[in-house]
């Protein structure tokens, strides 16, 4: 038996004893998890706004660890340290071959594809620990995890880099990077980023590396805005400032060239439509709150680009479709094609271009995962990123 963080219901997650995972398919590997993070995406599960989660499901899609067992077709070796992409991808289908890994056709079990196919027109590929819509795979917030397609997903990391430096290759670093890439940044661009959570902050960092002349970060938490500032962004607090007017002024009256929505379906704010959507979400009518995205679409200049790494799961009301069309905007979105970015980003970590450790505010033992969820949700300002350390007993200093 092992310990694992399980979902029991809205705002109810618990560390339980469950049977150890085993090698099931030839390409599998089993990891002993050494570090695993709680993500903003996990909060959508925690808040009960993602369908298809079953009590007892093991959460966690950001994890790394040591290989302890390999299937006969795995290319990994026991003892290797690897970081695991949250997207489960086979490497051999049409989408994997064109590096659209998060659209892999083969990772979501056949019998689980119908639900998302009905919702979206096509089945989703599989993700770790993220509902049965995306396969129902157990996640990595556990002592051990089964990793399918271990010959194409996990990236081996060198010993001189410690967990905290590389863990975020599993999701948020590539997600911030792809968020910036999807903004198609040109050298003189001004780029605005909604949300200064982990994804937004890495999008800020990436946009600057890609040569944006100015990056403007928007949130309402002072500490998170401060982190954005330290990365080199100018910041706007949407609670005290009229965001659209500010962006027009800060971009010389043109409007920002590209916008990045790193907030997703649970945006905060008091716009009338957002309040309405919040009520609907609460009573289970399932409209995604999209106030940040709506604001972004109005703020971007004509002919500009809209990048949406923030997660949405269903429908949204009162979407400014006219602005999208009349201004001739280009939209890029999607779950991150993590496998495409792990190697180039690992290189950037190794050569010192990117540091990810500034983000971590708390390091907790796995046993305290529930406290991590609660505080990451309720004290967002100071709890910027929680890393769980299975095998440790005490909270470590951040």
Partner 1 sequence: MKPNRQIGIAGTVAAAGVALGAAAFGAFLSRRHDGGGDDAPQFARRSNHGDHALVGRTVTIRKPAAELYAFWRDFSNLPQFMENVESIAEQGGARSRATWTIKAPGGTTVELRTEIVGETENERIAWASVEGSDIETRGEVTFTPAPGDRGTRVSLHIEYDAPGGAVGRAIAKAFQREPEVQARHDLKRFKMLMETGEIATSARRKSETRAAKQQENA
Ligand X SMILES: NC(=O)c1ccc[n+]([C@@H]2O[C@H](COP(=O)([O-])OP(=O)(O)OC[C@H]3O[C@@H](n4cnc5c(N)ncnc54)[C@H](O)[C@@H]3O)[C@@H](O)[C@H]2O)c1
Q: Which residues bind partner 1 (CB under 8 A)?
A: 19-22, 24-27, 73, 90-94, 97, 105-114, 126, 135-138, 146, 148-149
Contact of residue 19 among partner 1, Zn ion, ligand X, none (CB under 5-8 Å per partner type): partner 1
Phi, then psi, of 12 in degrees rounded to 5: -135, 100
By CB under 6 A, is residue 224 in contact with ligand X?
yes
- Single residue of 101, 177, 238, 341 touching ligand X by CB under 6 A: 238
By CB under 6 A, is residue 183 in contact with ligand X?
no
CA distance 84 to 391: 19
- Single residue of 123, 195, 313, 390 touching ligand X by CB under 6 A: 195
Cβ closest to ligand X, residue 196 vs residue 208: 196
- The CB-of-349 to partner 1 minimum distance in angstroms stands at 30
- Single residue of 36, 41, 116, 316 touching ligand X by CB under 6 A: 41
Determine the interface stretch with ligand X among 3-11, 88-96, 197-205, 362-370 (rule: CB under 6 A). Answer: 197-205
In degrees, rounded to 5, the angle at the alpha carbon of residue 67 between the alpha carbons of residues 65 and 68 is: 120
Give, as ranges, the residues between 302 and 321 that touch ligand X (CB under 6 A): 309-311
By CB under 6 A, is residue 139 in contact with ligand X?
no
Cβ closest to Zn ion, residue 97 vs residue 244: 97
Q: Any residues with CB less than 8 A from the CB of 225 and at least 6 apart, and which?
A: 196, 217, 219, 235, 237
Contact of residue 291 among Zn ion, partner 1, ligand X, none (CB under 5-8 Å per partner type): ligand X
Cα distance between the two ends of the chain: 30
Q: Any residues with CB less than 8 A from the CB of 148 and at least 6 apart, and which?
A: 24, 25, 27, 28, 88, 107, 126, 137
Cβ closest to ligand X, residue 146 vs residue 337: 337
Determine the interface stretch with ligand X among 38-46, 114-122, 277-285, 297-305 (rule: CB under 6 A). Answer: 38-46
CA distance 190 to 212: 6
Q: Is 334 left (phi over 0), alpha (psi -120 to 50) or beta?
A: left
Contact of residue 26 among partner 1, ligand X, Zn ion, none (CB under 5-8 Å per partner type): partner 1
Counting other chains too, the contacts that 243-251 makes at CB distance below 8 Å and 24 or more residues apart are 243/218, 243/295, 243/299, 244/295, 244/298, 244/299, 247/192, 247/216, 247/299, 248/299, 250/190, 250/214, 250/216, 251/190, 251/214, 251/301
Interstrand relation of 190-194 and 256-261 (parallel, antiparallel or unpaired): parallel
By CB under 6 A, is residue 172 in contact with ligand X?
yes
Helices and strands in the chain: count of H runs, count of E runs: 13, 17
- The CB-of-109 to partner 1 minimum distance in angstroms stands at 5
SS3 220: coil
Residues found near ligand X in the complex (CB under 6 A): 39-41, 43-44, 171-172, 175, 194-200, 218-221, 224, 238, 262-264, 267-269, 291-292, 309-311, 335-336, 380
């Amino acid at each position: 038996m092992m310990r694992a963080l399980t979902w029991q219901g809205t705002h109810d997650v618990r560390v339980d004893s469950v049977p150890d995972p085993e090698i099931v398919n030839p390409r599998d590997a089993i990891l002993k998890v050494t570090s695993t993070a709680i993500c903003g995406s996990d909060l959508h599960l925690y808040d009960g706004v993602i369908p298809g989660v079953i009590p007892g499901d093991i959460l966690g899609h950001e994890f790394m660890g040591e290989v302890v067992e390999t299937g006969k077709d795995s290319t990994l070796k026991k003892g290797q340290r690897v970081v695991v992409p949250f997207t489960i991808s086979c490497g051999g289908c049409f989408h994997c071959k064109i590096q659209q890994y998060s659209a892999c056709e083969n990772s979501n079990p056949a019998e689980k594809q119908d639900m998302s196919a009905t919702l979206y027109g096509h089945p989703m590929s599989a993700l770790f620990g993220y509902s049965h819509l995306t396969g129902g795979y157990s996640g990595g917030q556990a002592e051990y995890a089964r990793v399918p397609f271990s010959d194409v997903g996990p990236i081996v990391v060198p010993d001189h880099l410690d967990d905290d430096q590389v863990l975020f290759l599993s999701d948020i670093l590539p997600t911030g990077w792809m968020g910036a890439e999807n903004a198609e940044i040109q050298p003189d661009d001004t780029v605005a980023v909604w949300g200064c959570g982990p994804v937004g902050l890495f999008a800020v960092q990436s946009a600057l590396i890609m040569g944006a002349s100015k990056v403007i970060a928007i949130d309402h938490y002072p500490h998170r805005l401060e982190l954005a500032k330290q990365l080199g962004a100018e910041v706007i607090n949407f609670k005290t400032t009229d965001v659209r007017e500010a962006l027009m002024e800060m971009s010389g009256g043109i409007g920002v060239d590209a916008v990045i929505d790193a907030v997703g379906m649970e945006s905060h704010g008091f716009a009338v439509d957002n309040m309405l959507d919040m009520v609907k979400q609460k009573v289970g009518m399932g409209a995604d709150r999209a106030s940040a995205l709506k604001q972004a679409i109005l703020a971007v200049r004509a002919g500009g680009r809209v990048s949406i790494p923030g997660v949405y799961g269903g429908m949204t009301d009162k979407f400014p479709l006219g602005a999208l069309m009349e201004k001739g905007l280009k939209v890029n979105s999607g779950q991150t094609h993590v496998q495409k970015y792990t190697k180039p980003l690992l290189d950037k970590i190794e050569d010192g271009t990117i540091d990810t450790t500034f983000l971590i505010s708390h390091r907790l033992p796995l046993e305290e995962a529930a406290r991590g969820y609660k505080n990451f949700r309720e004290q967002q300002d100071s709890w910027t990123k929680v890393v769980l350390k299975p095998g440790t007993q005490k909270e470590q200093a951040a």
